[in-house]
Amino acid sequence: MDNRTCDYTGGFPVWDKSMKATHTILMPDMLPWHFRIMQEVLKREGYNVELLKNRSRTVVDEGLKHVHNDTCYPCLCIVGQYIDALKSGKYDVNKTALMITQTGGGCRASNYIPLIRKAVANEFPAVPVLSVNFSGLEKKSSMPVGVKLLSRLALAILYGDSIMWCYNQTKPYEQVSGAADAARDRAFDAVVSRIKKGGYSKYKKINREIIAEFASVKLVKEKKPKVGIVGEIYVKYAPLGNNDLEKFLISEGCEPVLPALMDFVMYCIINVVNDRRFYGHKPATAFVYNIVYKLLKRMQKNVIKQFVEDGSFEPVHEFESLRAYADKVLNQGVKMGEGWLIPAEMAALAETGVPNIVCAQPFGCLPNHIAGNGAMRTLKTLYPDANIVAVDYDPSATKVNQENRIKLMIAAAKEKAADC
């Protein structure tokens, strides 16, 4: 008999604040560049958080066993990663909780929580699922996110973006194998050390240190094709979801270009502001979200300015420029899933010298297919040199077929570069 330490609502355990001192919280490996830092922010706040690293085929198989096959691939991977971890024997299942983020939009991601609860209920009935969201969802089982924690998580995202951006511009060109990986680890260690000491207010100094760490790596003078990665947030960033796409592109002699995660955060926020204009939502809500948006926009501008002043690396796109690119292709009222952000990112990449693009999408993800595949014809009209391939990810799709499609796109890119 299990020792159930939780209150139960609707037959499922509910997280409460007393568990903060007793429970280990498991995070899915959804955003490896960013969650590694966000984990330390939450630890600083008193939460015992652990980022899962299990990525074997067993994870996908566990997902298939515990959710129906019509469930979108990211949810299947996340459920599988949780179940695999709980079965490992590493955790006390009476003192373990699962954490998942929710955007509150129309994507099925906002409904992962009931699926996760049902998946773990039979074998692990005492494990609560904890929501992190800013939309008022799951009020009985969510992590309180105040202004202070929100600002610290935003900084963690900016640091993660900087490390990701510098690493992908360094790794393909390193003179000494492993030098970029060592710089990445040193950068992470420096950020984590600052967070542990509470040095949140010095984000400009921390970002300069990240840039300097990678700028010290000696590079070969070689031009390689750049390949942008856009699409649904999970399969865009998570190695488990996209079969380690970044690593594969580097192994094929390319430089991967990932848009900033902060762009997705600002996309979610500006959509609430736009709801007032497009759908007549409450002006008070739009007013508050617009204040947050302006603060994040200023922080992102400061980071971009540092990249420009240093000159060692190309900066990420400014979010306001993405909105302008979106207006060429799709109305900003189209906001289900990643909505207008996907064609905006593709247009921004094509406009700034990255015509080769992988649009990563979970099979059966309706918003992704409409906003991604549906916009490609317009994008190719606007950017005739655009070399875009849409790749579906799901349990039945073979890695070989996915990589072969990407290899054909890379071959076309290299052939075109040779002709120039």
Its pTM stands at 0.92
**Range among 42-46, 107-111, 147-151 with highest mean pLDDT value:** 42-46
The CA–CA distances, whole Å, from 106 to 142, 386, 402 equal 19, 29, 28
Q: Given pLDDT bands bounded at 50, 70 and 90, which one contains residue 420?
A: low
* Joined tokens for residue 312: 């060692």
Q: Is the pLDDT of residue 2 over 60?
A: no
Evaluate if residue 111 carries a pLDDT over 80: no
The pair phi, psi for residue 201, each rounded to 5°, is -75, -15
**pLDDT of 57 strictly over 70:** yes
Q: Give start and end residues of each alpha helix (H) in 68-202.
A: 73-87, 112-121, 147-170, 179-196
Identify whether the C-beta of residue 276 lies closer than 8 Å to the C-beta of residue 333: no
The whole-number average pLDDT for the span 131-157 is: 82
Number of H helices, E strands in the chain: 17, 10
Close Cβ partners of 233 (under 8 Å, ≥ 6 residues apart): 30, 31, 109, 264, 338
How confident is the model at residue 104, as a pLDDT?
Answer: 66
Q: What is the CA radius of gyration of the chain?
A: 21
Which residues are within 8 A (CB) of 107 and not within 5 positions of it... i.e. 6 or more apart? 336, 337, 338, 367
Measured CA to CA, the distance from residue 131 to residue 100 in angstroms comes to 5
**What pLDDT is recorded for position 16?**
86
Residue range 221-280, pLDDT digits in tens: 999 999 999 999 999 999 999 999 999 999 999 999 999 999 999 999 999 999 888 888
User: What's residue 372's pLDDT?
Assistant: 83
The predicted model gives 63-87 an average pLDDT of 90
Tell how strand 7-9 and strand 12-14 pair up.
antiparallel
Q: Pairing mode, if any, of strands 48-51 and 129-133? A: unpaired
User: What pLDDT does residue 105 have?
Assistant: 66
Residue 15 pLDDT > 90: no
Residue 9's pLDDT is 52
For tokens 């194998």, the residue is: 177
Name the average pLDDT for the chain. 89
Residue 114 contacts by C-beta under 8 Å, 6 or more apart in sequence? none
Amino acid 10: pLDDT = 63
- pLDDT-based confidence at residue 22 (cuts at 50, 70, 90): very high
Burial label for 64, CB within 10 Å (0-12, 13-18, 19+), is middle
Tokens, residue 236:
């865009």
Could you tell me the pLDDT band of residue 145, with boundaries at 50, 70 and 90? Answer: confident
User: Which domains are delineated in the chain?
Assistant: 7-145 (3.40.50), 225-259+317-419 (3.40.50)
CA atoms within 13 A on the CB side of 7: 9
Give the lowest-confidence range in 2-16, 72-86, 106-120, 316-330. Answer: 2-16
What pLDDT score was predicted for residue 198? 74
Distance linking the first and last C-alpha atoms of the chain: 70
Average confidence (pLDDT) over 279-305: 91
What average pLDDT does the segment 76-94 reach?
A: 94
Q: What is the reported pLDDT for 1?
A: 34
Q: What is the pLDDT of residue 5?
A: 47
What is the DSSP track for 357-405?
Answer: EEEEEETT-HHHIIIIIHHHHHHHHH-TT-EEEEEEE-TTS-HHHHHHH
**Are 127 and 87 spatial neighbours (Cβ–Cβ below 8 Å)?**
no
pLDDT of residue 164: 96
CB 229 within 8 A of CB 346: no
pLDDT for 169-209, tens place per residue?
Answer: 999 999 999 999 999 999 999 999 888 877 666 888 999 99
Is the pLDDT higher at 363 or at 88?
88
